[in-house]
Each structure stands twice: as structure tokens, then as C-alpha cells.
Amino acid sequence: MAEATPMDTDPQQTENPDGMYPIAVLLDELKHDDVSLRLNAVRRLGTIALALGVERTREELVPFLDESIDDEDEVLLALAEELGSFVEYVGGPAYAHVLLLPLENLAAVEETVVRDKAVESLSKISTVFSPGQVEEHFLPLVKRLSSGDWFTSRTSACGLYAPVYDRCTPAIRDELRKGFSVLCRDDTPMVRRAAATNLSKMIGKVSKDHLIADLLPLFNGLSQDDQDSVRLLTVEALIAIAKVLSAPESKTHLLQVMRNLCSDKSWRVRYMVAEKFVEMSKAVGDVLVREELILAYVHVLKDSEAEVRTAAATQIPGFSALIDRDAILRNILPCVQTLVSDASQHVRASLATHITGLAPLLGKDNTIEHLLPLFLQLLKDEAPEVRLNIISKLDLVNNVIGIELLSQSLLPAIVELAEDKQWRVRLAIIENIPLLASHLGQDFFDEKLSNLCMQWLGDAVFSIREAATANLRKLTEVFGVDWAKRTIIPKVLELSSNQNYLYRMTTLFALTTLAQVVTPEVVKDLIVPTVITLSADPIPNIRFNVAKSFEQLTPILRKPELGNTLNGDVRGTLNKLNEDPDVDVRYYAHRALIAAQ
């Protein structure tokens, strides 16, 4: 052994220098003047810790990190995150508590994101603690933070009760609930907000008895807070409590609060209720939904504030799924009919996205009778966003009433939108065409829509032309190569001799895209010759796009069925383009030639 020692260190010295030098640099960079270097060093703390070994990490690195508390927020954020997964570097769970020191300080800084991350990391570390460690190290920390002078540490404390609760002895649990209740009654709204946010997590941890005895009063208190911003957070807690309680218990304990929240003076609270209506309804159970919430929901749908109606509209299908068809027709539908002509376009847009979800619930006949007229009205809405939303959700309706009926009633509207002034609307229509086509069938499509598809190729907006070429490809996938060869390719080829160079360009793009889905014969007989013809175009833009097009086509042109096309005509064309007077054309031709090698 005595001999072995120098032997052992020797290789270390010849082998490790390479390994240790970067570590030395990283260590120095932890305190570099440049923030980005510090940030980078903190991101690699794991590497540093590995190199230092667990003992030095515990005794030197972690205390050192704690001193960095006055650094930039982004560095602190990274530090808070890294420390969350640092347990293995300090020697495993048995030593995990040494990490609490820097994290406790990070949990008290003023920047919210840093604090939140520190709390997240603290919760994460707490999961590996033994009950002894929790008691000895974690709980004192929670207490210190909870009684901190500044609200910043107290808000952080709110998030630390739930993670360890179920691993504590009953006596400590009592204490924890007490501590948490103090935070719920804090003077500072910020702390009460944090407490209200974390209340739902606590609810999931405590026993039902304690929930009713201890947390319910806290919940009631917060739900009547002076600050809107606190009250609105209790909606989440209400859902959490309702999930634990049985339906009759919910009714006893929550009904009044729920009523208050639904009719709160502040629209922000009602907004929160509206947004979570389905979740809340599911949590409290069928009976309360029938007895209480249908009417409450109707109120929310008719709220005076547009923001609330917008949120309420998102819940229409979800909530309707919880009640029977008659109730939908009787209660929800009249509101929906009003909302279709709501004064706020945001409400109508939200409605347009969600209204189609009613179709499966109402069934075919009701959809035809009640919903179709509404769809038509939304399709004709003055706001493009509304039209857009309804179009993109029509597939749901299609499943219920069938394409025949849908196309009969909606096709005129769709055709009208296909020529809408707003290009985004046209774009949305194009994106839905392949879907419509697959349902409509070939004949119907050829008759009604194919002209439209060709028309888009000549659209004034590039995005539309681009989408139109992609559309052709998708249509070919739907209807097959023969159909494409017969109907669209001839029309595209026709465009290649159009006077306007933009049309010729579109041809080029369309052909390149179509080449990916058609048979080699079509490529060889129809596509390649046309592209070659375009290589003599007077506009350089077209010529270099020919080169680019060939570059993209190379993999296809290599297929054996295409014989000598690549090495013959195509290479010849590219060679010619490579001597083009225009520098861009030469550049792309050169690239294509390299690809063709």
C-alpha cells in the first residue's frame, strides 16, 4: 500500500488535470463579473459538486452558495432550481438538510419567481427527509419563514406546510394546521393570497375531520376577505374541499359560500367561478348541480361583465354534459341563443369555439333544429375571429349530422368565407378543406370546391398561396394520384405559362410539393419537364427557385423508376443555371449540383 499511494496519485495527476482544469474555471466563474458566466457556472453546479466530492460540497460549496444571496435574480433563480436536485451531491438523503440553509434565504428574496422556485425546491427536497429530519430541520425553517418580518418570507412559508404534513406525527400536524391558520389571517394581502393558493393543497392532505374543524373556517374567512384578489383564489379551494366531502356534506358546508362567490360583487371573482364552473360542478355532485348550479350557470352566462361571459362560454359543452338533454334545451340553449348576438366580440369568439361541443350532446335532430341557425349566424359574424373559431370546430358537428346536411347548409357560407377579405380567415378555410373533402367525396368536391382551391393559388397573399399548394398535396393524398393527374396537375401546368411571374412561381412551388405524393411517372412525364421549361424564365427569381426545387426533388429523382432523369436533363439544366448571369441563381444551382452528386 505504501508503494501504491504514489502510484495512485500519479495517474491522478496526469489524468485529472484535464478533468480538473475546467472545474477550476467554473469555480472561478461562480464569482465572475459577467452575469452570463455566473449563470452558466451555477447551471453546472452538479459538475462542480461531483468534482469536489460530497464532503467538500457540504462543507464548502453549500455555505459558499448561501453567501451569493445578493446576486442577480436570474442567477438566484438558477441557483434555486439547481439546489432542488442537489441531494445526491451532498451525500444523499441523510445529508439533504444542509441544503435548507441557502434555500431558506432564497425563499425570502423579493423576486417572486425566485421565491417560488426556492419553495418548489424545498418541497422537492422535503420528500426525501426522514420524519426525524423533518422535525429537526424542516419544521424550524417553516416556523422561521412563517414568522418572518417581511411578507416575502411569509408568502413562501405558505407553500411549505402541505408537502411535509402527512409525514408528521399527529401532535406536529396540529401545530402545522395552527401555523397555517395564522398565515391565512395575516395582515398582508400578499400572504393571504399565498395562503389561499396553498389552501387547496392542504385540503388534500388533512383528514376529513380536521378539514371540517380547522380548514373550513379558514376557507370561509378567506372567501369573505376584503380583497377581491384573495376571494377569487378560494374558488380553487372550494373545489378541493368539495372533492373530499360527500354531496350532502358539500351542501351543508359549501352551498352558502358557493352562492356568495357566484354572485360576488367583484367581476373578477365571478370570472374565476365562470372559468372553473365545470370543475366546481363535478366536485359538488349531481344533486347540487341540478338544484343549484344550473340556475347559477345561467346567471353567469348572462353576467353583466363581458369577461365573465367569455369565461362562462368556455364551459358550455363541459357543463351541458353534466345535465340532461331537456335541461340543456330548457336552460342553456336560450342563453346560447342570446350570446350568439352578444355585444362583445370576445364573448362571441369564445362561444364560437365551444358551441359546436353541444352538437354531440343534443343529437342530430336538435342540432339541426336549434344549433345550425346559430352556426350560420356565427359564420356570418362581422368579426373574423368569430368566423375562424366556428369553422375550425365544425368537424364535431359533422360527426353528428353528417356531411351531407352540413355541406348543404354551410357550404354557401364557407364559399363566402373562402373569399373573405381577411387572409387569416381564408387560411383557416384552406386548412379545413382536406377534412371537408374527405367527407364530401370526389364528385361533390370537384363540383363545388375545386375551383376555389385553384383560385387560392393565385391569391394576393403569399401565406395563402403557400397554404394552397400544401392543400393540393393533402387533397392528392385524399383522392389519389389519378385524380390529381386528371384534375389539378393540368391546371397547375397551365399556370406555368401565366404572364404574371408570381403565378409561375406558385406553379413551381405547387409542383415541388406535389412531387412528394405522386407516382414517379408523373414526376418524370409532367413535373420535371415543366420545371426545366421554367429554368429559361426571364425572371431570375424563378430561375433560382428552379434550382432550389431540383435540390428538394433530388431524393425523388434518385428513384430507379426515373431512370436517367437526374443525371440527364436535370443536371444539364443545373449546369446551365450554374453559369447564369445572376449570382443568386448560380449560388442555388451550385447547391443543387452538390446535392445531386
Beta carbons of 429 and 417 less than 8 angstroms apart: yes
Residues 168-207 that bind other proteins (CB under 8 A): 188-190, 193
Report in angstroms the alpha-carbon separations of 480 from 41, 48, 157, 506, 517. Answer: 57, 60, 64, 22, 9
- 20 binds other proteins, rule: CB under 8 A: yes
- The smaller minimum CB distance to other proteins, of residues 51 and 128, is found at 51
Q: Which of 2, 132, 171, 304 binds other proteins (CB under 8 A)?
A: 304
Q: Residue 258, SS3?
A: helix
Q: Which stretch binds other proteins (CB under 8 A): 161-169, 171-179, 261-269, 434-442?
A: 261-269
Are 199 and 237 a contacting pair, CB within 8 Å?
Answer: yes
In the bound state with other proteins, the residue whose beta carbon lies nearer, of 73 and 136, is: 73
What the block records as the C-alpha cell of 288 is 347540487
Q: In this structure, how many other beta carbons lie within 10 angstroms of the beta carbon of residue 594?
A: 10
Residue 55 within binding range of other proteins, rule CB under 8 A: no
Counting contacts by CB under 8 A, is residue 501 touching other proteins?
Answer: no
For residue 188, the one-letter residue type is: T
Contact between 12 and other proteins by CB under 8 A: the answer reads: yes
And the C-alpha cell for 566?
437526374
Output the smallest distance, CB 546 to other proteins, in A: 41
Q: What is the DSSP string of 385-417?
A: HHHHHHHHTHHHHHHHHHHHHHHHHHHHHHHHH
CB neighbour list of residue 43: distance below 8 Å, 6 or more residues apart: 78, 82
CB of 201 to other proteins, least distance (A): 21
Query: How far is Cα 546 from Cα 376, in angstroms, rounded to an integer?
Result: 44
Question: Does residue 226 interact with other proteins by CB under 8 A?
Answer: yes
Other C-beta atoms closer than 10 Å to the C-beta of 88 total 15
Smallest distance, Å, CB 193 to other proteins? 8
Based on the shown chain and the rule CB under 8 A, indicate whether residue 52 belongs to the binding site for other proteins: yes
For residue 454, give the nearest of 423, 420, 479, 484 by alpha carbon.
484
Q: Which residue has the cell 412525364?
A: 525
454-471 residues labelled b (16+ CB within 10 A) or e (exposed): bebbebeeeebbbbbbbb
Query: Is residue 152 a contact point for other proteins (CB under 8 A)?
Result: yes
12 or 130, CB closer to other proteins?
Answer: 12
3-state secondary structure 422-474: CHHHHHHHHHHHHHHHHHHCHHHHHHHCHHHHHHHHCCCCHHHHHHHHHHHHH
Question: x/- binding map, residues 26-45, to other proteins, per CB under 8 A?
Answer: -xx-xx--------------
Stretch that binds other proteins, among 109-117, 199-207, 411-419, 555-563 (CB under 8 A): 109-117
Least Cβ distance, residue 180 to other proteins (angstroms): 21
Q: Rule CB under 8 A: is residue 13 a binding residue for other proteins? A: yes
The answer to whether 249 contacts other proteins (rule: CB under 8 A) is: no
Structure letter (DSSP) for residue 204? H
Residues in the chain: 597
In the complex, least distance from residue 317 CB atom to other proteins, rounded to whole angstroms:
25
Per the CB < 8 A criterion, the answer to whether 107 and 145 are in contact is yes
> Between 111 and 420, whose beta carbon lies closer to other proteins?
111
> Which residue reads 363566402 in cell numbers?
416
Cell digits of residue 353:
369555439
User: Does 61 sit near other proteins (CB under 8 A)?
Assistant: yes
Residue of the chain from 10, 21, 252, 416 that contacts other proteins (CB under 8 A): 21
What's 88's DSSP letter? Answer: G
Q: Which is nearer to other proteins, 310 or 367 (CB)?
A: 310
Burial class (CB in 10 A: 0-12, 13-18, 19+), 483: middle
Q: Is 54 in the site for other proteins (CB under 8 A)?
A: no
The size of the interface with other proteins (CB under 8 A), counted in residues, is 46
The region of 148-156, 200-208, 438-446, 526-534 touching other proteins under the rule CB under 8 A is 148-156
Which of these ranges, 84-92, 305-313, 520-528, 542-550, lies near other proteins under the rule CB under 8 A?
Answer: 305-313
* Phi, psi at 150, each rounded to 5°: -100, 150
Least CB distance from residue 137 to other proteins, whole Å?
24
- Sole window of 59-67, 243-251, 367-375, 415-423 interacting with other proteins (rule: CB under 8 A): 59-67
Q: Is 116 in the site for other proteins (CB under 8 A)?
A: no
Of the two residues 273 and 514, which places its CB atom closer to other proteins in the complex?
273
Shortest CB 71 distance to other proteins, Å? 11
**47, 105, 112, 366: residue in contact with other proteins (rule CB under 8 A):** 112
Question: Closest separation between CB of residue 109 and other proteins, Å?
Answer: 8
d(CA 542, CA 546): 6
Half-sphere exposure of 407 (CA within 13 A, CB side): 17
Q: Is 53 in the site for other proteins (CB under 8 A)?
A: yes
Q: Using the rule CB under 8 A, is 46 a contact of other proteins?
A: no
Q: Which span sits near other proteins by CB under 8 A: 17-25, 407-415, 523-531, 536-544? A: 17-25
Select 32 or 576, whichever has its Cβ closest to other proteins.
32
Q: Is residue 108 a contact residue for other proteins (CB under 8 A)?
A: yes
Q: In whole angstroms, what is the distance from residue 155 CA to residue 186 CA?
A: 10
Binding site for other proteins (CB under 8 A): 12-13, 16-18, 20-21, 23-25, 27-28, 30-31, 51-53, 60-61, 64, 67, 70, 108-110, 112, 150-152, 188-190, 193, 226-229, 264-268, 304-307
